[in-house]
Amino acid sequence: MDRLRGWPVTLNEGPVGLRPLRLSDVRVWRETRLRNADWLRPWEPSNPETPLFRTGLGPYVSMVGTLRREARQGLAMPWVMTYGGRFAGQLTVGAIVWGAARSAQVGYWIDGALAGKGITPTALAMAVDHCFFTTGLHRLEANIRPENQASRRVVEKLGFREEGIRRRQLHIDGAWRDHICYALTAEDIPGGLLVQWRRARESAAHGGPSVEEV
């Protein structure tokens, strides 16, 4: 089995960063998710391993242990998103398939208090570049509920193409929900996604087409 080249790794772009998820993040992770329960609930998988409301340490320790094991096996890259060095959310590249596919799925959530600062697309652009140009993956998918306009804007701004509906793909907020599949391949961004995202933001800052930030 292939292993993850360059993992664990910390990435930075200005005040936005990605670093490995740690056991020591438990208190800030739990506080952030409890404070954001209403913000996250409509989009969260109905999964007892990542509860919004439990206050014990066990579920978090179990989640980190699972993700670390998958990382050692070359199946996941679990990151914390940071802003100014502080915890801002989570971004995980998971369900990695090697061999002829070299594909993975990406998921993310951010503290609602930090939405609108461009943190999520910047972090995702860094993760995509690392996956394609360091790790050697070829395709990344993001599967998003049609109703989740904020999350859809993230991938659409970064140039992920829409590839159709996956009917009743995941159990979310108490029911099986449809998701829209968005995808990128390495050929789509030969110069790197972070460079492309920087240019879009610089253009908007100088009077070009506006870039809504999430």
Confidence of residue 39 (pLDDT cuts 50, 70, 90): confident
The 8-class DSSP code of residue 187 comes to G
Contact 11/81 with Cβ under 8 angstroms?
no
- Determine the average pLDDT of the residues in 149-159: 96
- The pLDDT value recorded for residue 43 is 82
- The pLDDT value recorded for residue 2 is 56
The 8-class DSSP code of residue 89 comes to E
- The pLDDT value recorded for residue 99 is 95
**pLDDT higher than threshold 60 for residue 156:** yes
Contact 187/148 with Cβ under 8 angstroms?
no
- The pLDDT value recorded for residue 47 is 61
Neighbours of 17 (CB within 10 A): 22
Q: Return mean pLDDT, the chain.
A: 89
Q: pLDDT digit string (tens) for 43-62?
A: 877 665 555 555 567 778 88
- The pLDDT value recorded for residue 204 is 76
Q: Is 77 left (phi over 0), alpha (psi -120 to 50) or beta?
A: beta
Query: Please, which residues bridge with residue 180 across strands?
Result: 144, 165
- The pLDDT value recorded for residue 185 is 98
- The pLDDT value recorded for residue 1 is 45
d(CA 102, CA 107): 17
Please state the CATH superfamily assignment of the domain spanning residues 11-203 in this structure: Gcn5-related N-acetyltransferase (GNAT) (3.40.630.30)
201, two tokens: 């933001």
Question: Percent of the chain having pLDDT more than 90?
Answer: 72
**pLDDT higher than threshold 60 for residue 64:** yes
- The pLDDT value recorded for residue 40 is 86
> Where do the domains of the chain lie?
11-203
pTM: 0.91
